[in-house]
Structure formats: structure tokens, C-alpha cells
Amino acid sequence: MKLKALLAAATAAAALTAGAAAAEQVKIGIAAEPYPPFASLDSSGNWVGWEVEVIGAVCAAAELDCVITPVAWDGIIPSLTGQQVDAIMASMSITEERLKTIDFSDPYYNTPAVIVADKSMDIEATPDSLAGKIVGIQASTIHQAYAQEYFKDAELKVYQTQDEANQDLFAGRIDATQADSIAMADFVGSDTGSCCEIKGAVADDPAILGRGVGAGVRKGDDALREALNKGIAAVLADGTHEKITAKYFTTSIY
């Protein structure tokens, strides 16, 4: 009987240890939709890209056991508040509106929003220039919020992914699109995007466009937020952030 009790105790302890280990794993939510060069699937089905590498580096520096967890973009904040993921690192800008629902780490990159259109079109990144034009924007993004506020005289066409907007721009079904400058530089540098060019950055509005991209965490999860801040600070300080950036971009994006 004593042996059975010891075995039972050992089994229970092992189960608790396994549970504790599993609890330490941090599920990092990224958008399930491709967003090159930040995150996309390679031919083997692995997630690759600048942000994927930065996630790995930040988690390593913070000594966190992280696992990439793809989630549809329009449900990514509910997946965080509903505890399906523990943090969001999906090019999510830190905005006052989002801060009402979730907390953020320190920024780990910051780039302007730009307007892209066909090279033949005389378009500027201003409300007056875009009046009467069809502008494509991705749903549930800062770009949709910005366009709705400033491009009221344009026809807005909303897409679930930026790639869909880019395809319609290439096909001539829309006149322009607004998105992140780095993502659009990748698009205009591709065969499909060779039709188009960046027409300029939109006027900054921090209240809508935010103050850079950070990792989103649940309200009150200060331990994880501080751990991610530690990791972000470390990769910025030791040059890891710069080394990863140099593989994808010609200039700093911090």
C-alpha cells in the first residue's frame, strides 16, 4: 500500500510539473493571413519573415518559451482577451482605441502609412487628391480608421487582407490603397506591384495611426508585458534587431 501511495504521489507530482511547464509556454498570436515581408508561410508551411524572426529573438532574450499561433486578423484581439493566445505580435500599432481593451509592450518598430497607386496616376497622399477615387483598405486596421476619418470624399473598398487590395490595385479595380510603407515597398518591388509606386506618406495622426508597433497583452498581465519589454530592449541593445532588419530592409524601421 505504501508503494502504491508513493507511485500515486509521484504520478501526481509529474502531472503538476507537466502542467506547470505547459503553463509557461507563451502563445504568440500572429495574423493567419500572409503579410510579407513581416510574416508569411514558406513552401514547407513554416512561418517566416522579419516579424517572425524578431518574435524568436525577443522571446529568447526574455527567456520565454514561445509558440507562433496564427489567428484571423479580425478576431485577433478577441482571441487575446478570450485567452486563446497570450500576446499579439502582428504589426499591431499602439493606439488609444486599442489601449481601451488591451495593454502593449514598448514599440519594436515604427513606420509611416503610405498611399500606393498606379505609376500613371497623378495622385498624392492627401484627402483632396483622393477625392472621387476608389481607395482599398484592409478591414480592422489603423488604415481603415484613418481613411474613414480623412478620405470621406473617396469611395472606400474594404478587404479582409492587404494582399486582396493589392491584387485589385494591380487589376485596376481600385485607384489606390493605404498601408504600411514597408509592406508596400515589398509589394511595389515585386513583379505584380511593378505597375505601381508609393505616392507619399499620409499626414500623421498619432491618435489613429498610433505610436509604433508593440506586443499586445491582456489588461493586467504586467509580468508578460515586462518580460517582453526586457526582450525588446535586449535585442535593440545587442544589435540583434538591426541584424534581422538588414536581412529584409535597407533602412532601420525602429
Whether residue 216 sits in one domain with residue 229? yes
- Under DSSP, the state recorded for 39 is B
Whether residue 130 sits in one domain with residue 187? yes
State pLDDT tens for residues 92-147: 999 999 999 999 999 999 999 999 999 999 999 999 999 999 999 999 999 999 99
Q: Is residue 40 part of a domain?
A: yes
The helix (run of H) or strand (run of E) holding residue 26 is strand 25-31
Three-state secondary structure string covering 176-220: EEEEEHHHHHHHHCCCHHHHEEEEEECCCCHHHHCCCECCEEECC
The amino acid at residue 59 is C
Beta strands 196-201 and 113-118: pairing type?
Answer: antiparallel
Whether residue 62 sits in one domain with residue 177? no
Whether residue 218 sits in one domain with residue 197? no
Q: Is residue 234 part of a domain?
A: yes
Which pLDDT does position 120 carry in this prediction? Answer: 97
Does 67 score more than 70 pLDDT?
Answer: yes
Overall size of the chain counted in residues: 254
The helix (run of H) or strand (run of E) holding residue 162 is helix 162-171
Which pLDDT does position 209 carry in this prediction? Answer: 95
CATH of the domain at 157: 3.40.190.10
Q: Is residue 7 part of a domain?
A: no
Whether residue 186 sits in one domain with residue 70? no
Q: Which domain holds residue 58?
A: 23-110+211-248
- The total domain count for the chain is 2
Helix (H, G, I), strand (E, B) or coil at 165: helix
> pTM of this prediction?
0.78
What's the rounded Cα separation, in Å, for the pair 186 and 19?
42
Which pLDDT does position 1 carry in this prediction? Answer: 40
Whether residue 132 sits in one domain with residue 74? no
Cβ neighbour number for residue 21 with a 10 Å cutoff: 10
Whether residue 217 sits in one domain with residue 105? yes
State pLDDT tens for residues 50-59: 999 999 999 9
Which pLDDT does position 181 carry in this prediction? Answer: 93
